[in-house]
Amino acid sequence: MSTEIQQETETTEEQSPEQIREEVAEDLSEKRREQIQEDLESAEKTVQLKVFRYDPEIEGKEEPRFDSFTVPFHRGMTVLDALIYARDRYDSSLTFRHSCRQAVCGSDALFINGQQRLGCKTQMGDLEHPVRIEPLPHQDVVKDLVVDMQHFYDQMHAVEPYFDPDELPDGELEEQHQTPENREKVKLSTRCIWCGACMSSCNIAAGDNEYLGPAAINKAYRFAMDEREGSDRKQERLRIIEQEHGVWRCQTQFSCTEVCPKDIPLTEHIQALKRESIKNNLKFW
């Protein structure tokens, strides 16, 4: 018995860490293939995904391509559900952003069948198959479906999206009152989840990297049209959006409004700020 144990120990010691990892990976791959086959055979229906792949840091994957994944379909399945299945079962290196899965965080905005959509909100059953999934257009791709959002965030912050009232309430815990009518006026603009879908769909933003973009202008609208905004701050905000790459670059194509997952009338808000800008610059004397 002791001789057998000694022989087994010697065999194990001869294996390098790389060999052990390869064996474990092979076992896991086999189990994964069996699980996928079982899932597909038990499913009433399957769907095919064609997913954009790109990884500049891995040799052999620097060139963009599309990988296909067959996924078991179930009622209520979203595009995000299908992507998670593909990542967990087929390829753990498949990279995409997601968080809340409730259309609130905005992190899983993707280009699905030729249109900007939220993965967690888009039903697989509503799409033509195979479902083609790509990163947001007009953004630098970091890896697979992940794009660099820094420029988008910079444009959002460029409109200084915060309150600066002329006066604060006397009481420490007293609220700044707002009329129901004014609240209704700005309500839709507050729904923005910073997903970047509107910016990606905008032809002007695609050709003008300095254009503030519909999301940032909508954020400016949210504060400029709020009656609690200070008069001096409103003037400063209007000067920001009146610049060469502000509201006047919008050509009223409505593409941003069409793709907004929160149904914000972005084009209307941009036009409202154009009118506000004109009124602000009119002088009667």
Tens place of pLDDT per residue across the chain (285 aa): 444 444 444 444 566 666 655 655 565 577 888 888 888 888 889 999 999 999 998 888 889 999 999 999 999 999 999 999 999 999 999 999 999 999 999 999 999 999 999 999 999 999 999 999 999 999 999 999 999 999 999 999 999 988 888 787 787 788 888 999 999 999 999 999 999 999 999 999 999 999 999 999 999 999 999 999 888 888 899 999 999 999 999 999 999 999 999 999 999 999 999 999 898 887 665
CA distance 272 to 198: 18
At 82 the pLDDT is 97
Side chain identity at 11, as an amino acid letter?
T
Distances (CA, A) of 132 to 54, 157, 205: 15, 32, 24
Indicate the burial class of 80 (C-beta count within 10 angstroms; 0-12, 13-18, 19 or more).
buried
Pick from 98, 206, 223: nearest CA to 160: 223
Euclidean distance between CA atoms 231 and 280, whole angstroms: 11
Can you give the pLDDT at residue 5? 40
User: Which residue in the block uniquely carries the two structure tokens 């299908």?
Assistant: 82
Contact 164, 233 (CB under 8 A): yes
pLDDT at position 285 is 56
3-class DSSP state for residue 235? helix
The single-letter code of the amino acid at 123 is: Q
Mode of pairing for the β-strands spanning 45-53 and 131-134: parallel
**Per DSSP, which regions of 18-88 are E strands?**
45-53, 65-73
Q: How far is residue 64 CA from its own chain's centroid?
A: 20
Question: Residue 247 carries which DSSP code?
Answer: G
